[in-house]
């Protein structure tokens, strides 16, 4: 019986230690989430307006402009940019991004993948590890981007993608990331990055632009900057989503640890009461035997 009590005490101590760790991780993630949420909240309206403006301009002009970034080619070679995190313990955050990427490959680019014409550009250690382990063609130059997350580092990756598309190394580039909604909700999306899509709803007001300097010069100057901004926005979205997912996961883990501790304490008290009852019974039986 004493051995059973010792085992339960050790489990209570172990679960209590784990609970302290999950509480600390939740607090750290909450602090990081506030900063990440502020960053994407400030960035999103600017990036979305730039994208809308670029799509409207592309839709209002004809022909090849901006160095071919708007040219639709037969889709033979595909690049998929997948944004994950460097660390785990954030629920299903990483697995959902990776799962979406694999679904896109199997459903949208199955023919290209069977020909060996689909490449993955992972941004984040978890995605890189998964795709390498499963034998996908991986471009492994930028997966460490979260070790020093800033616009300049993201710009290097974005320019690599843009030049590869211009050089016809890829005919289509998709960006997969997690769109931050709130701490408990993330929306995993796949967006067309290149070629630049035209606005689906063109109106006369959208087409009424006055260009200064010339249309060609302006678009060629704006396109790379806007494309860099779109990838940076996707990374900031995923960064905020990661911290939100980790905070939620650690909060749930803390609650589960509390429930486990409650159950273990009940089991410990029952075992202790059983041990005391057994000892009392033995004492009473021994005294009765002596009297007899």
* pLDDT at res. 286: 75
Count of CB atoms within 10 A of residue 82's CB?
30
Q: What is the C-alpha to C-alpha distance for residues 231 and 165, in angstroms, rounded to an integer?
A: 15
Reported pTM: 0.86
Asked whether residue 138 carries a pLDDT value surpassing 90, the answer given is yes
Residue 81 β-bridge partners = 121, 175
Please tell me which residue in 47, 58, 90, 257 is annotated as part of the active site: 90
Ordered alpha helix ranges (H), the chain:
2-60, 93-107, 110-114, 125-133, 151-166, 204-207, 215-291
Q: Where are the domains of the chain?
A: 21-250
Q: Give domain 21-250's CATH number out of 3.10.20.30, 3.40.1380.10, 3.40.50.2000, 3.40.50.300.
A: 3.40.1380.10
Residue 179 β-bridge partners = 187
Relative to beta strand 172-182, strand 78-83 is parallel
* pLDDT at res. 176: 97
* pLDDT at res. 287: 73
pLDDT digits (tens, 9 = 90+) for 185-220: 899 999 999 998 776 654 444 456 677 777 777 777
Count of CB atoms within 10 A of residue 106's CB?
10
Count of CB atoms within 10 A of residue 268's CB?
17
DSSP string over 185-213? EEEEEEEEEESPPPPSS--HHHH----SS
Share of the chain above pLDDT 90, in %: 62
- Examine the residue annotation and report whether 90 is marked as an active-site residue of this protein: yes
CB 80 within 8 A of CB 103: no
Helix (H, G, I), strand (E, B) or coil at 5: helix
DSSP string over 258-288? HHHHHHHHHHHHHHHHHHHHHHHHHHHHHHH
């Amino acid at each position: 019986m004493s051995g059973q009590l010792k085992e339960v005490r050790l489990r209570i101590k172990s679960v209590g230690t784990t609970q302290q760790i999950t509480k600390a991780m939740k607090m750290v993630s909450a602090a990081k989430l506030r900063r990440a949420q502020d960053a994407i909240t400030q960035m999103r309206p600017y990036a979305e307006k730039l994208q809308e403006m670029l799509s409207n301009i592309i839709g209002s002009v004809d022909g090849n402009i901006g160095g071919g970034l708007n040219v639709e080619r037969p889709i033979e070679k595909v690049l998929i940019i997948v944004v994950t995190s460097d660390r785990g313990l954030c629920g299903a955050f990483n697995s959902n991004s990776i799962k979406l990427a694999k679904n896109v490959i199997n459903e949208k680019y199955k023919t290209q993948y069977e020909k060996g014409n689909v490449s993955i550009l992972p941004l984040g250690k978890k995605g890189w590890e998964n795709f390498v382990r499963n034998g996908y063609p991986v471009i492994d130059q930028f997966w460490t981007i979260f070790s020093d997350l800033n616009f300049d580092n993201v710009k290097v990756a974005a320019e690599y993608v843009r030049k590869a598309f211009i050089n016809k190394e890829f005919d289509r580039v998709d960006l997969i990331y997690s769109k931050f909604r709130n701490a408990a909700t993330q929306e995993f999306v796949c967006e067309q990055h290149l070629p630049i899509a035209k606005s689906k709803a063109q109106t006369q007001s959208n087409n009424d632009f006055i260009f200064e300097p010339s249309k060609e010069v302006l678009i060629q100057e704006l396109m790379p900057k806007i494309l860099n901004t779109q990838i940076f926005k996707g990374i900031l979205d995923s960064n905020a989503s990661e911290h939100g997912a980790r905070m939620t996961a650690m909060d749930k883990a803390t609650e589960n640890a509390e429930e486990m501790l409650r159950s273990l304490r009940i089991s410990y008290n029952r075992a202790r009461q059983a041990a005391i009852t057994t000892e009392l019974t033995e004492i009473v039986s021994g005294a009765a035997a002596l009297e007899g």
